[in-house]
């Protein structure tokens, strides 16, 4: 499930967070599902337990999972909603980047084509 690239500049704990978010968005991890334990993940991913723990703590802090001492961590009921909100906040940064794209000479047509590509796949998804 998780794919860790130790040589990446993205910190390992950050990779775990990002991938967990994707799994939730994609519906692979759903409300109430139990996350694999720190020890399991540590062995499976060959990652230091402290690093896994850091990712877990951060996911908990963001309200995406609920950690019950002695039982484990579970995808929270508000996970999907929390993610939608936080992702939406990234729009501001994307807009700033796109403004720079425009200044760098990228045409509106080019951007629109990219948007179409992204949402075309979406339509297929809906048909399934």
Judged by beta carbon distances under 5 to 8 A according to partner kind, the member of a copy of itself, DNA, none in contact with residue 49 is DNA
CB 64 within 8 A of CB 20: yes
Q: Is 99 in the site for a copy of itself (CB under 8 A)?
A: yes
Maximum CA extent, the chain: 56
Least distance between DNA and beta carbon 127 (Å):
38
Binding residue (CB under 8 A) for a copy of itself from 9, 124, 126, 128: 9
Q: Is 78 in the site for a copy of itself (CB under 8 A)?
A: no
Q: Is 6 in the site for DNA (CB under 7 A)?
A: yes
Q: Give the list of residues 6+ apart from residue 65 with CB closer than 8 angstroms, or none.
A: 20, 35, 56, 59, 73, 74, 75, 76, 79
Q: How many CB atoms lie within 10 A of CB 59?
A: 24
Using CB under 7 A as the binding rule, the residues of this chain from 9 to 68 that contact DNA are 11-14, 35, 37-40, 46-51, 53-54, 56-57, 60, 67-68
CB 67 within 8 A of CB 82: no
Tell me the sheet residues that pair with 75. Answer: 65
* Binding stretches for a copy of itself (CB under 8 A): 6-9, 11, 21-22, 25-26, 61, 66, 68-71, 83-84, 87-88, 90-91, 94-95, 97-106, 108, 111-112, 114-115, 117-119, 122
């Amino acid at each position: 499930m998780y794919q860790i690239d130790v040589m990446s500049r993205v910190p390992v704990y950050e990779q775990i967070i990002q991938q967990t978010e994707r799994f939730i968005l994609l519906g692979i991890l759903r409300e109430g599902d139990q996350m694999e334990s720190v020890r399991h993940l540590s062995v499976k991913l060959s990652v230091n337990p402290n690093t896994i723990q850091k990712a877990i703590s951060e996911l908990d802090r963001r309200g995406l999972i609920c950690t019950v001492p002695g039982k484990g961590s579970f995808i929270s009921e508000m996970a999907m909603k929390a993610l939608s909100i936080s992702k939406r906040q990234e729009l501001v940064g994307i807009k700033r980047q796109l403004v720079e794209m425009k200044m760098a000479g990228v045409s509106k047509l080019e951007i629109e084509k990219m948007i179409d590509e992204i949402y075309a796949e979406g339509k297929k998804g809906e048909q399934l």
